Amino acid sequence: METTGLRDNSENGFSFVELLVSVAIMTVILGAVVGVLQRGQMVFNNERNVLDSVQNMRAAFDMITREITMAGSGQIKGYGIVSGAGDSITIRGNFQNVSTIALSVSPTTGAIVVGSTGGFRAGQTVALTDPNNGTSLWATVTSVDAATKTLVVSASTTPITSGAMLSMLGPGAMVDVIQRVRYSIADNGTITRTESPELDTNDALDSVLAENVLDANGAPGLSFDFYDSNGASISAPLTSVAASNVSLVTVNLNVRTKERDVQTGSYRNFSLSTDVRPRNQ
């Protein structure tokens, strides 16, 4: 009989007070779990926000500094920097690494027999430089014949060295594709890379390199400083003469996160700065 009584009592379940206590305990536990999950989500969102900003900044910074380093490549010294301002820079060079050697040059037809036509196409600007006499000029490629390894350039050329003409070029002249590249930033923090042939800036291609590049105050976060070979600062915007005297460019990138930190309510800020010496400037 006692055993039956115990079984009856155990099957009665929780009392009302016990149920309330159990519910209260479960509520506290669930609240703590939800709080931990919410905090984890906040941390995750913050870190993702930071990672996006850092990757965005690093990709833009690396490309800008790399191409400024290449400014002047493929042509004689002193022509790598075209112009510059506090928030933009225009450079020229063989950024595609497309080059060859002339085996013969016909001044009358503009036909140049070369070692290889790989990478060349009509519409490109090429720098033709004769290492034997120092003659250098820019010309536009009008046609490419891969079978005969011949480039034809326009009769109208632009001298780099004084009085340079096709007739002054001989076998062994270097042929390099020259592009003009401009980096600039808009008020909304969008960095644009504009690429064109050196002699046809109307044939330009714009590509967005990075977005939301804004400093702590919401101003555009990309800037440039220019220096000569003695380390003296050159005021921007650069004149053509001043541009030819640039030996070092400081690239500054200041970026805040796209969204505010959900914990502090403030933007997180990051900065990169480096000095770049153009290869052939």
Question: How far apart are the C-alpha atoms of 98 and 33, rounded to whole Å?
Answer: 61
**Residue 208 and residue 189 in contact, taking contact as beta carbons nearer than 8 Å:** no
Taking the CA atoms of 173, 162, 246 and 243 in sequence, report the sign of the dihedral they define: negative
**Residue 71 and residue 93 in contact, taking contact as beta carbons nearer than 8 Å:** yes
Listed range (10-14, 81-85, 203-207, 231-235) with the worst mean pLDDT: 10-14
**Confidence (pTM):** 0.80
Determine how many CB atoms are found less than 10 A away from the CB of residue 112.
24
**Residue 141 and residue 157 in contact, taking contact as beta carbons nearer than 8 Å:** no
For 104, phi then psi, to 5°, come to -160, 155
| pLDDT for the residue numbered 57 | 84
Determine how many CB atoms are found less than 10 A away from the CB of residue 271.
12
CA 125 to chain CA centroid, Å, is 22
Both structure tokens of 64? 């800008």
Confidence check: pLDDT of 49 > 90: no
User: 3-state DSSP call for residue 10?
Assistant: helix
**Owner of token pair 């079984």:** 7
**Residue 137 and residue 160 in contact, taking contact as beta carbons nearer than 8 Å:** yes
By CB atoms closer than 10 A (0-12, 13-18, 19+), residue 221 is: buried
Strand order in the sheet with 222-227: 233-234, 222-227, 248-256, 269-276
Mean pLDDT of the chain: 88
pLDDT for 209-265, tens place per residue?
Answer: 998 899 989 999 999 999 999 999 999 999 999 999 999 999 999 988 777 766 677
**Residue 269 and residue 255 in contact, taking contact as beta carbons nearer than 8 Å:** yes
pLDDT for 8-48, tens place per residue?
Answer: 555 566 676 766 777 777 777 776 666 666 665 665 565 66
Residue 26, C-beta contacts closer than 8 angstroms, at least 6 positions apart: none
